[in-house]
Amino acid sequence: MTTSSPARRRPFNAWLHLAMLPMLITAIVAYLGATVWTFALSFTGSRMFPNSEFVGLLQYRRLFSSDRWSLAVENLAFYCVGSIVLSTLVGFLLAVFMDQKIRSESLFRSIFLYPFALSFVVTGLVWQWMFNPQMGIQAAVRGWGFESFTLDWIVTQEYVMLWVIIAALWQGSGLIMALILAGLRGVDEEIWKAARLDGIPVWRTYLSIVLPMIGGTVGTVLTLQIIGSIKVYDIVVAMTRGGPGLASDVPAKFIMDNIGARANLGQAAAASVVLLLTVIALLVPYYYFTKQQKSKRERAK
């Protein structure tokens, strides 16, 4: 910090500014510029190509009265809540079990984490087969003699999103486990000793003492999942292609279809802006919350 005192300000360094150029261009053109452009497009009647015909809020009105969009949003809400709650629960549970000084910990860790190395496309395809009524689990269990066993949710409109959630759970919960386990390892051993001396059962200690102590990790885990699950696209395309019908449509796919096949750029832009505003609305409170916590901690020191 001392180097930037005005008395010792360095002479203009051309190399430094040149080296910053890619970052400058990326930030200003690709991030800021593109966001502003999409925002502007959402107020135009652009079809296949952008045009500057100003239509006010028409695209947004159209968007909010579109059945397909509201279904996509509903699906996304279900997916976000479902996958975040389940992945966090499963991840936490696995982490707690892994934290019991078990043998072959690294083997278990590798097993729980390997799906994270696979792409969403692969995840979607694998689970498409697992849930395929003619070939997959249903057929196998029937083959074992349970003739009436039914597991055809992937071809059932009401339940298809649930399958996407399960596939995502398989892919991502290992990461949650690894992150929470790292958090648990950071908890002071003294806390455990004190809790044991007071005769508090292990599960109570985890829930009431340890969980609040790793609040930061849990916050990170939740933020990561919010950012990740709002973008959900590949896994749906690979697993269901948005079907059956439009039953597993999601906003990211709605946007892609409107940019591409449906040639409705203005509509896609409006949907993108709504998606972006949702992310901001979800993350800003979290950002302020962690900032407050940090300043509280600093004041406590």
Q: Count CB neighbours of 82 within 10 A.
A: 18
194 lies in the binding site for other proteins (CB under 8 A): no
| Chain residues 86-125 in contact with other proteins, contact rule CB under 8 A | 94, 97-98, 100-102, 105-106, 108-122, 125
Q: Are 252 and 232 in contact (CB under 8 A)?
A: yes
57 binds other proteins (CB under 8 A): no
Binding residue for other proteins, selected from 61, 196, 291, 297, defined by CB under 8 A = 196
Count of helices and strands (H, E) across the chain: 16, 0
- What token pair was written down for 287? 């950002």
Is there binding between residue 200 and other proteins (CB under 8 A)?
no
Here's the x/- map for other proteins, 269-288, by CB under 8 A: it reads as: x-xxx-xx--xx--x-----
Interface residue with other proteins among 189, 212, 299, 300 (CB under 8 A) is 189
The amino acid at residue 215 is G
Residue 15 is a binding residue for other proteins (CB under 8 A): yes
Which range of residues in 58-66, 76-84, 188-196, 290-298 is near other proteins by CB under 8 A? 188-196
Q: By CB under 8 A, which span of 70-78, 81-89, 157-165, 266-274 interacts with other proteins?
A: 266-274
Q: How far lies 142's CA from each of 18, 127, 131, 146, 280, in Å?
A: 66, 18, 13, 5, 47
The one among 80, 168, 230, 236 contacting other proteins by CB under 8 A: 230
77 binds other proteins (CB under 8 A): no
Q: Rounded distance, CA 69 to CA 172, Å?
A: 26
Question: Does the protein bind other proteins through residue 268 (CB under 8 A)?
Answer: yes
Q: Would you count residue 267 as binding other proteins (CB under 8 A)? A: no
Closest of 265, 277, 271 to residue 66, by C-alpha = 271
In sequence order, the β-bridge partners of residue 54 are 44
Choose the stretch contacting other proteins; rule: CB under 8 A; options: 57-65, 153-161, 207-215, 250-258: 250-258
> Nearest distance from residue 158's CB to other proteins, in Å?
23
Residue 243 as a binder of other proteins (CB under 8 A): the answer is: no
Q: For residue 42, give the nearest of 276, 299, 226, 238 by alpha carbon.
A: 276
Contact status, residue 28 vs residue 253, Cβ threshold 8 Å? no
With contact defined as beta carbons under 8 Å apart, do 80 and 90 qualify?
no
Q: Is 297 in the site for other proteins (CB under 8 A)?
A: no
**Contact region with other proteins (CB under 8 A), list: 51-59, 62-70, 76-84, 247-255:** 247-255
Query: Which ranges constitute the DSSP H helices of 147-208?
Result: 160-185, 189-197, 202-204
237 near other proteins, judged by CB under 8 A: yes
**Which lies closer to other proteins via its Cβ, residue 43 or residue 120?**
120
Instruction: Using alpha carbons only, give the angle 122, 125, 130 rounded to the nearest 5 degrees.
Output: 125
**Per-residue x/- marks for other proteins, 143-162, CB under 8 A?**
xx------------------
**CA neighbor of 245 nearest in space, from 127, 135, 152, 156:** 156
Minimum gap (Å) between residue 11 Cβ and other proteins: 12
